[in-house]
Structure 1
């Protein structure tokens, strides 16, 4: 049995709901072989992020070289990247060893307000890694921070933002509109020519920890299996919708989505 190989480069979530842990769960559920390179160790739970410990640059390089020189990957997903130096190493080694599909989830902060990526790293992300991406998946808060604009508050402003984000060089931008009010949650996918709207009835669910990581990882898994970007996004959205619907409480704050829900769908 041969499985498509997917590498996640991201932070570790000690609570298990997001980051590396969510990525590997997603890869497994979508029948791909998951590998991981850890950029930071976080101390976090359902109530928030208590501490962040970036890995040493030598440790990051060693992990990447170990995986890429031997196993390789059909797609690569990045999450929490912490610093400009981390991003430089990632871009260098992906270029050296070659890569197929690169999915960037620009994790700039946690939903509880903790900053997870240094400001100088955002510039490095935009100029070095972003142009290498098959797709980048910012939410509205991340998009406004990356573009250095006012908050994005309407679908029209989303459309304007997705065009600007695409000018940074990625092949596709998936701008996630989950932070907008309304009964429908709208995401926009733009490939430089075509703008595709994905609309989903909003789910009344408090346990949504790991949603962004899970969506980006599902896209990476589907791209690794050979799907085109539209099909990959559609499958990923179906996957994360099931996971959100069955999100569950495990602590005193926002619980995680349920990664096993997609397999059990009727």
Structure 2
């Protein structure tokens, strides 16, 4: 496993491998890796000949400076975790390498996709996601890129961006990985105390509650009950939305097949997100 820090070097390696007919899989990450990331690696290993994991804490997708400053950076631990899992390259560029002085931001209108949920509460976030993902895809030029379904809205944005710019890559969605008790694995969990991890389980149990009661109540009524349950456990709910799986339009009176319940809530100072197919 080799660590590469420049766009030119990773492009040279990929060019040589593609000449040999190798299929390239990319797993974009911001580091602080965990078993959820390894599940992406394992899925990529089943479908690709060469696995590249990028590790880059992208400053343009943080609308809160303290969140960026506190984001865990654990590159050596990340390298150790990836060792033995079939990863050929770790691409760990600097900010200057990803965003050189002549960098031009991509112009794209996300429409409603960028205005609801994460887009509403984290202005500018998805513009930053588009910037870094587009830059990574164009730098590495993989055949497939792997993303976890925990970032449900982000996946919708990435699908839209890839289609909009006609980037020749397959976007592969991978299931959410949870702890034994149901907490969605996240790099941010490193910032939670053991007591807070216990407290945060209410997000998962609330999603299960919503799923179990779709025949008994409207989406609007269940969203209200979900907020009450999460807040009663001591978390601060930012939003609970039950949405159309493609348009992300909020459902109110009627259920549709594929409806997804999405949650964002603060546990202490740590912002957590999760989702579940409920309809």
TM-score > 0.5, shorter chain as reference: no
TM-score in terms of structure 2 length: 0.26
Q: Larger Rg: 1 or 2? A: 2
Per residue, is there more helix in 1 or in 2? Answer: 2
TM-score in terms of structure 1 length: 0.27
